[in-house]
Amino acid sequence: MKRILAAAAIVLCVCIPASAHRLDEYLQGTLISVEKDWMRAQIDLTPGVSVFPVLIADIDTNGDGAISETERHAYAGRVLRDLSISIDGHRLTPRLVSLAFPAVEEMKEGRGEIRIELDAALPRGGPDRKLVFEDRHQSRIAAYQVNCLVPQDPDIRIASQHRNYSQSFYELSYVQTGAQSAVPDFAGFTDSAMPLGALALLLSVRLALLWGGRGRAKR
């Protein structure tokens, strides 16, 4: 913690001349793609020169000046934990798909780009879907940019995109034709949808038992 505060103090002390490269921001560009059963995202993280001390203190946790494989994955895990992704109100758990780190020197010069690719399985839903992507990673120094790629699947059509000013909040509405809403996949449901699904299942069982009872009575 002391190291992070010290790094932050360095940032505050850095005077900011016009520069050829990114300086006092941590650019976090996200490209989201949606498919029928998956959402995928590519996040490119580019620390500016003057925020590099903050970042390296966060990544190089043992302070040896090198970024080990363990530190890379731990950092990617922290980035993922700072995200909040949901579909139709149900929180998703993103999975790290790939991770690429530049050399420390490259980051120090303001050109190093960390690339994180993630995906998350989407529970089945209705034709009108709403995906929310919130990013809180290094929010003090972040410059977020979130966009959606045009879907490859012709059955998916983007309806609208909404963001707050900083783009830390992004909401994507899309229409998915051929959606299989008749057969709910309870495994993918969480929170409020689960009791409703369970109730529907119990009612179905109850009706089946009643129907069976009537049949036996007739015989």
Q: Which residues lie near another protein (CB under 8 A)?
A: 16-25, 27, 29, 31, 44, 48, 109-111, 113, 143, 145, 147-150, 158, 161, 163-167
Q: How far is the CB of 209 from another protein (least distance, A)?
A: 49
Q: How far is the CB of 20 from another protein (least distance, A)?
A: 5
Q: Which two tokens stand for residue 130?
A: 């709403």
Indicate the SS3 state at residue 194. Answer: helix
Q: How far is the CB of 39 from another protein (least distance, A)?
A: 14
Q: Which two tokens stand for residue 185?
A: 């996949």
Q: Which is nearer to another protein, 155 or 191 (CB)?
A: 155
With tokens 């015989």, the residue in question is 219
Q: How far is the CB of 21 from another protein (least distance, A)?
A: 6
Q: Which two tokens stand for residue 219?
A: 């015989």
Identify the bridge partners of residue 172 per DSSP, sorted by sequence position: 131, 161
d(C-alpha 98, C-alpha 121), whole Å: 16
Characterize 28-50 residue by residue with b for buried, 16 or more Cβ atoms within 10 angstroms of its Cβ, and e for exposed: bbbebbbeeeebbbbbebbbbbb
Long-range contact pairs involving 17-24 (C-beta distance under 8 Å, separation at least 24): 19/49, 19/110, 21/48, 21/49, 21/109, 21/110, 21/111, 22/46, 22/47, 22/48, 22/49, 22/110, 23/48, 23/49, 23/50, 23/51, 23/110, 24/48, 24/50, 24/51, 24/141
Q: How far is the CB of 99 from another protein (least distance, A)?
A: 16
Q: How far is the CB of 87 from another protein (least distance, A)?
A: 17
